[in-house]
Structure 1
């Protein structure tokens, strides 16, 4: 059997042919990611995307090199990653090599190589800069998890330094609710992933990811603050559709927080004061909001427990890809939890979340 190449061996000829002349530093909490590339256009796009986080100075640095090129053919015996529940497309293939992992995006041809402190993106990066953004953010997520945090599938907002983690089953509208709450002078913490860690005094810190919310037309049309993300032609076209169709459209917009809500409203970390679990459905029943005890309602935990995914480098191959329910319960302890059930009502849910946060702050 032919031995597999190393990441270093794969990348050596690519780096030789692609001079790395452009650089960007972005800082997430204590971590500075140093992004290097052969493409000024890519660095410019990433600088615009990460404009709230530009600059160095983090106590920890992570290098990421992004090579703009055609889709690479590494001729590797990839395995296809199976679809997640509720997903329809096969999106990724991967293979573990002696010094890390190679992941290939099936739809775009982009390849990501990472391991032992090296991180590379190779392929049509400019056209698929959102995938490069996700790769960069995953380096930060991995750092937080290896420092002891647990991963939550959730959005997050904060008021007066206290944060709410907003979780929900697939398609529940976590980001839509977070953006509705943002209309009440709160701070945005994260869109879809949150890392939660315990402090020495027993309090919890929630750390977000520098990922702009991706919102569908229904969310935009129902939140006046999001008006900048949609042009007039799209507004006219989508306003003519029945409301039920709007929420299921695959069309997405990046909602930049500073454009929609003003500067200084996107922070990545704060104390975690409460957890919200969305369990509602699209019907005409009244929305309800009630405090619950997670130890008695383990059925809600699947809403926020999250597998670490393909872009995590395990130090121990036997390590589970998702922490146990008991690990999450031990972390959260007696943290207040609010279950939102009944019919979908984002305005009323935002009011309930703000009242919940005010109650647990007092």
Structure 2
């Protein structure tokens, strides 16, 4: 493509013409339907299996995403490097802002994602990198909710007895592990890593993301409902490792909710009745649980706050800057904020969460 004439619309037209995406699925994200069209039956099968609990019959959606399996492509753009998040060193993404949208290039896989003003397109070796296509689809829903005024939270979520609870924590605190402990005790899953908190005036609603949990071997082996995803050979290897090394492994497993806990145990919308902040450490001290005021404990809120990142394009100038801690404090004053500190005790934390969801108090 001629660099001087590159626009988002031109890219979309070129790849939708050359690699027509004729097969479609419709994914219901708690009331927002994303129509996803692909040019590969193999990719369609991967996406259908991943999103199977949220598929509906429809003729069109609120948002359309097309994914085009094709060779790696060079759009001839001079990308800007996305600097790694704090604590990480590997550069994974580059981007280029077009007059009518944005291009994100995945350096490690060669995948290209183009979006803006209602057009959303994934280009490249999609089958080999279906996880990145899945993330792109989920990010379209996140963008949709943020542009309607929701706040982005870095949290897992479950619901029981009509009360939803989100779990956040500073790095490595175990929010997903706690969520899966609660799943083993009968709750329904809402989200693994991201929630969008919607202000309803005097209460909050959380929307989850259709992203299956990715867990480390320590989490899997310490939960009977999850141990089935680890092969016998891996079990033998991991069980012989020191506990500290086991929890630090980078190896991850996909824990599909329907396969581990049964069908109908994953929904994407729930009341945000409470938010738990895990602020504990791995020692033998007593686990402490208390309700706190978000306006007085703003030091806890960065554990929940999440920047919008490259895959979000605001629909108005006032949304270009992420909300600050004061805005999050105002928002979270409409729910119950629970701090769990002291020593790590997932069983006690699960007891607290279950009591709150059943009785509305800790």
Relative to the length of structure 2, the TM-score reads 0.95
Superposed CA RMSD in Å reads: 1.8
State the match for 1:45 in structure 2.
46
For the 8 Å contact 1:46–1:129, the answer to whether it is kept is yes
- Alignment map for 1:6-45 (pairs within 5 Å): 6-45=7-46
Cα 1:59/1:147, change in 2 over 3 Å? farther
Deviations 1:298-319 (A, max 9, x none): 1001000111111011234564
For the 8 Å contact 2:27–2:34, the answer to whether it is kept is yes
SS at match of 2:335: coil
**Displacement of 1:64:** 0.4
State the match for 1:147 in structure 2.
148
- 5+ residue gaps, structure 1: none
SS at match of 1:19: coil
**Displacement of 1:58:** 9.8
Distance 2:239 2:133 in 1: 32
Distance 2:181 2:22 in 1: 42
**Displacement of 1:57:** 4.8
Structure 1, 219-228 or 339-348: larger mean CA deviation: 339-348
SS at match of 1:267: coil
**Displacement of 1:281:** 1.6
Q: Is 2:291 the partner of 1:298?
A: no
**Displacement of 1:284:** 2.5
SS at match of 1:247: helix
State the match for 1:216 in structure 2.
216
For the 8 Å contact 2:218–2:247, the answer to whether it is kept is yes
For the 8 Å contact 1:101–1:113, the answer to whether it is kept is yes
Distance 1:348 1:54 in 2: 36
Distance 2:143 2:172 in 1: 25
**Displacement of 1:4:** 5.8
**Displacement of 1:21:** 2.5
Structure 1, 310-319 or 32-41: larger mean CA deviation: 310-319
Distance 2:87 2:342 in 1: 22
Cα 1:343/1:19, change in 2 over 3 Å? same
Relative to the length of structure 1, the TM-score reads 0.95
Distance 2:49 2:239 in 1: 29
- 5+ residue gaps, structure 2: none
State the match for 1:336 in structure 2.
336
Distance 1:334 1:207 in 2: 16
- Alignment map for 1:78-157 (pairs within 5 Å): 78-157=79-158
State the match for 1:345 in structure 2.
345
Distance 1:189 1:357 in 2: 14
Distance 1:316 1:233 in 2: 53
**Displacement of 1:334:** 4.4
**Displacement of 1:216:** 0.4
SS at match of 1:280: strand
